Structures are given as C-alpha cells and as structure tokens.
Amino acid sequence: MTITATTPRPVADTGLMLTALGLGSAPLGGLYDDVPRAQALAVLERAWELGIRYFDTAPMYGLTRSEHLVGHVLREKDEEYVLSTKVGRLMANARAGRSLPPEPPRNPLDPGFVNALPFREIFDYSYDAIMRSYDDSQQRLGLRRIDLLFVHDIGTVTHGEAHARHWQALTAGGGFQALRELKAAGDIKGFGLGVNEWQVIRDALEETDLDCCMLAGRYSLLDRDAEAGFLPLARARGVALVLGGVYNSGILAAPRDGRRKFNYADAPAEIVAKVEALRSVCDDHGVPLAAAAIRFPIRHPAVTSVVIGAKTPIQLQQNVDWFDAELPEALWADLDAALAAASRP
C-alpha cells in the first residue's frame, strides 16, 4: 500500500491513529528564528487543510508559546486529531524575584528560542511534577484531552552528571507511575519518551511498558545510529515510533548555499561531505535530497509517523509534496552505498 502524508497509522493498542506525517511545533515556538503569531497560526491551519491530524508540541518550545498557539487552533476543531505534548520541564516565572533552583548547565542540543515567553525551565521528572506538568499543559492548550505524553529529554546527553538524579525521580520517584495512572484513568491514551538518544528508551523499557516514543535525529538518511541496536527492539516490544529531526536540524533540506545545521549546531566538514555524497545520488535520480530524507524513515516497519516542523504555510506544503513524491526504488540502495563510502576513514 502506498503511504501518503495523510495515511492513518495505528499506535500500538491505544486506539489512536496518527497521520503518517505529523506537524511538530518547535519552529512555531521560535526555533532559530521568530515566527510571528499570525504566521504560526496560518501554518497550523494549513496543516489541517492538508489533512494532517497529528500535532506535537511541548512546554519547552518557546517556553510555553507553542502550546498556546497549538491549543488556539485545535480547540476550534470538531474532527478527530491526535495531540502529544511533553513532561519533565516545569516553567517558572523568570521575573518573579523569588528563589528558584540554579539554572542547569546548557543542554548541548538546546539552541534556545527567539521571542520566547518570559519563563525558565526547571527539570523535574517526579510523580508530583509529571502530574503538575500535565495539568499546566491542559491549561495552556485550553484542552481537556491530551492523547500522548512524552517524557522530554531524559538522558545523559541533556543532563550529563545530573542524569542519575533525574532518572531516579522518573523511576523510584514515581514519574512513570504518574503516567501509568493517567493512562489507567483514561486521561491520556498512551505515553513514552521524547528524546534524542535511543539508549534511554531501551533503559526505560526495563522499567515500564511504553506505547509510543518520539526519537529525534537518530534514524535518518544521514544518521543511522538507532537502526541496528534499537529499531528491532522497539518493534519487538510493540512500541510505536514517531521520528523527528528527519532533516537533522535542517542540513538535509537546506540548499548548498543555505544555512547548514546538524544536531542544532553548525555542521562540521565531515557531515557536510556526507550530505553532498547523498545529494549527488539524489541528483542522479532526479530526486530532491529533502524528499528522500523525509520519506526514508517511514520505510522501516518500526516507524509509525514522521514529524516535521515548518515556519510558513509554503514550507509546510513543500514538506507534504516531498513526502508524497514518488521515488524510484533503486534510489535507496544507491543512497546506502554512498553513505557507507563517505563514512569510511
């Protein structure tokens, strides 16, 4: 069966159906550049017009700005859709003048947000914090229903030496228990992790059952890190995977003379060389590199949906067109060979 952007795909045994292409809202929160309110709302409305029915957000994106924008549009819709947001960060008023915990070290995968709201992140994965984060998100969204909750950015890449303390809060401290209770009560349909490192999802599966996880950047046309060690495990355990970061922070969609970001930072020379090797194969097949990049993850049977962000309605339309493009089957083997050759010392 041909999969298009609007093809509904099941999430484990939750009863949820995600469109094969979902809309991520980090760009609407000001990732890299400010997106004015009217423009952000136009992107969300265009996604709806195009038949996208899976929307992902997070308190982190624009320090709550994204949740406000997503809720403003979705609470006016009568048709079915699926909404996910994230837990693990509480937001404090950065100007309150009251005592707050020390700022954590800067997450190397957090580029910051332009024109974010005046709040400050406090990482907390405990039982009480998960429950409070869920309630706070409902209020910002203005929605009673949130379908999926992802534990956001748990792991050593984000937290370094503090990871053990946060992991303790999530496990022995009741964070996972809070999520299980929310699901058992029918408040959410499922939960999982939303992370940039697959190893922590593997570790979480030793602690609890997960319904759906969002993995960013670790299974893409350029970065196959999760392919052998994790994707078969996720499929065997019945964990639906939503793949984000399919352009690896933009480098797989940027023109040769455009801004080249990889893992939220300027791309190093060796990554640029790999991208150019992939681009050369796509040129030979008459295929845009971005079309191959957005389509690549959904070919794996462990992947349920691909989530992309967009700053304008035109950009969103282009992503849908790339996803729905017919690509020659021979392309994939040629891309695999080119990446392998470019990765050799």
Strand partners for 17: 10
Query: How far is it, in rounded angstroms, from Cα 28 to Cα 67?
Result: 9
Rounded (10°) angle between helices 313-324 and 37-49: 30
Query: How far is it, in rounded angstroms, from Cα 310 to Cα 33?
Result: 11
Among candidate residues 54, 56, 219, 264, the one labeled active-site is 56
Query: How far is it, in rounded angstroms, from Cα 120 to Cα 30?
Result: 15
Helices (H), the chain: 37-49, 65-74, 127-141, 156-159, 163-170, 175-184, 198-204, 231-236, 269-285, 289-295, 313-324, 330-343
274 labelled catalytic: no
CA dihedral 134, 99, 109, 253 (to 10 degrees): 70
56 labelled catalytic: yes
Count of all residues that appear for the chain in the document: 345
Among candidate residues 54, 81, 86, 147, the one labeled active-site is 86
State both tokens at 167.
């992991």
Among candidate residues 61, 125, 247, 264, the one labeled active-site is 61
Residues 99-116: b if buried by 16+ CB within 10 A, e if exposed: eeeeeeeebebebebeeb
| Nearest alpha carbon to residue 284 among 344, 231, 227, 333 | 333
Q: Are strands 212-216 and 265-266 parallel, antiparallel or unpaired?
A: unpaired
Contact residues for 270 (Cβ-Cβ < 8 A; gap 6+): none
DSSP string covering 209-254: --SEEEEESSSSSS--TTTTTTHHHHHHTT-EEEEE-TTTTTTTTS
Q: Among all residues, which ones are annotated catalytic?
A: 56, 61, 86
